[in-house]
Structure 1
Amino acid sequence: MAPATQFELSNPPNDAISALAFAPSSSSRLLVSSWDKKAYLYDLQASDENAEGFRGSLLSAFEHRAPVMDVCFGANDDEAFSAGMDWTVQRIDLASGDMSVVAKHGAPVRRVVYSREHSLLISASWDSTLQVHSPLDASLPALTIPLPGKPHALAASPSKVIVAMTSRLVHIYDLSALSSAVTSRASSPPPPWQQRESSLKFLTRAVAAMPSDAGYATSSIEGRVAVEWFDASAESQARKYAFKCHRQQQPQENGSGGAMDVVYPVNALAFHPAFGTFASGGGDATVALWDAEAKRRMKIYQKFPDSVAALAFSADGRYLAVGVCPGFESGMEDYEGQGRSHVLIRELGETEALPKGKAK
């Protein structure tokens, strides 16, 4: 693998970026969803460079009726699903461009994930429900799961799905149980496999599942990340931890000469698919790489032009995609983010994401 390089995708979204997702097979296909009411499909390896530092090609843009809050690939590289502020989940045929509604909620849909291991589509809406669908069999009705809080983050591991809600609530569902409930047309949903209280004191902003199926990480609006394991044994739970990050020292405004900690939200998390390390992105416009097992920061990248809104690793671990746009910390009334979104792609060095002391 070549040494690390970084480039920017041409033709980025026109408004804030909400999510990034790499294809399950091809490391060069990337989906981007945006508040400009579109989902975008890029080819990272396209050769039509249009300016120095830019690479990649925009293959298609898929128009929605409202801002697109999330996007994911489905069973293959030609199927995608989007979550919208129009209260729907749409299936997108990336080859033909056809779009169809596959789920309707009673409020905006915040997140959507697809489990290839169980062929399940799961959407989380601000109507405080999860919907579980089997896209392979449209005759099966959706399984609706009422939630005790409004969901803000959702992630799937090979066997579990984690939903983080308001009031520091975290529910973990077993995907096999959800699949059985859908195929059997169960009259009531299965209970959560585990119910937890978040290790973080403030609102959860992001959740990411370990590809090893051992646990997950969450982040909050108050500059913290927590790492936890699924195993409920006392020994395993004693391993969980939380730490401060994405904070900057700035001089006191009163001229006293002292410094104060300025805390930024941690907007995005993503696990490397092979090494067990993970990346975090924050409102401080930085991305850091962490060793989850050793509890240490491995690397912090150069500052980006604006807040980091989304992160994604490619399935082969070759690329890290970084979605950059102005944050919403100052509110929507004076938000001026149009035309300031960027998608940066870092082609990782061979051992860049490898924990120290471990052989590749």
Structure 2
Amino acid sequence: MKSSVIKIALILLGSYLIGCQQRPHADKLQNATTKKIIGYIAGWKGVDTSAVQAEKLTHVNYAFANVIDGMVTEGEGRFDQDKVNIQKLHSLKSRNPDLKILISIGGWTWSKGFSDAVLTDDSRKKFTDSAIAYLIRHDLDGLDFDWEYPGMQGDGNVFRAEDKENFVLMLKSVRQALDSLEKVTGKHYLNTIASAGFKSYLEVNDLGQAQQYLDFINIMTYDFVGPGTDTTAHHTNLFNPNLNGRSAAQAVFDHVEAGVPIEKLVMGMAFYGKSWKSVRPGNNGLYQPAVWNSTHPYRNIQGMVGQDGYVRYWDEDSKAPFLWNQSDSIFLSYEDPESIAAKAEFIKTHNLGGAMFWEYHEDSDDGELLNALFQSLRK
């Protein structure tokens, strides 16, 4: 009798496991339309709503608000411009009523005031109140904190070891304030951050604690190399065959190891590329000694492919494209529709929350990268 019961249990277990193996594909199809597509829009470049494909976005992160004297505020001289730009973004909801508009606070150059602003209970209250006032003033759907970076210097910023705890306390304070506002308006407000795509950021922060106060986390899975890098490489590759090499996938797994549920993670994509000059020939310029050159918006890169000596290559191991100009010794790492499709497949397979990109104006006039992302991730 006992033996029969065990056999039946094993048969049922086998059926369950087969079902588990089959379900991810079904879940992937079922959940595809819920994946986020978050586009950062740089306010200093203006907002042309006729050029924004609102129907293909779930969220717009308007960049940036500043942190001055411990408070979230419009950047110096930008109050009128930001007010007009955000009003224009709101008009996109006539074409996509579900579109969410958030303000991104900080960024690379405007993160200098965070550490002081969140240092004490009183300063955190002042900071939180100002963030909520900004949200109400512009009728926004949420706040996105781009502190680059807690516990790290970033662009010559003030930083402290206490940032690790204060960052979490800041997010908790903001979450509680947003929840209080929801009780008044009946509307859920988003609380999100942009996090770094390198492990040392996770080592000086506590994302496992922070995530409980966040709706999702946008990982900046790009800029893996750049100025100061004297060897060519991919700057936003999905995988990296080199031991301990940086990649988008590794950044995701590092965040999960740090205690963040994978469904809260949003993978970043770069609508721009990076180039080196004086590249030593060999391996079509990949992983060769070189001199840093510059960054390029995709709208310019699109016209370079196959022109003036630029030849496109595909690195299957990294799932990343690159351009190599042998005659001019120039190497260029970038994102294209094929690499975006590979990342979208990773996002669906591993059940991430979605994708975000920097920055909307850098896409081609025909929106080639956003179109590729929408088709790969949401269709």
| Common fold by TM > 0.5 | no
TM-score, normalised relative to structure 2:
0.31
Task: Give 1 or 2 for the bigger CA radius of gyration.
Answer: 2
Pick the structure with more helix per residue.
Answer: 2
Pick the structure with more strand per residue.
Answer: 1
Higher RCO structure, 1 or 2 (CA under 8 Å, sep 6+)? 2
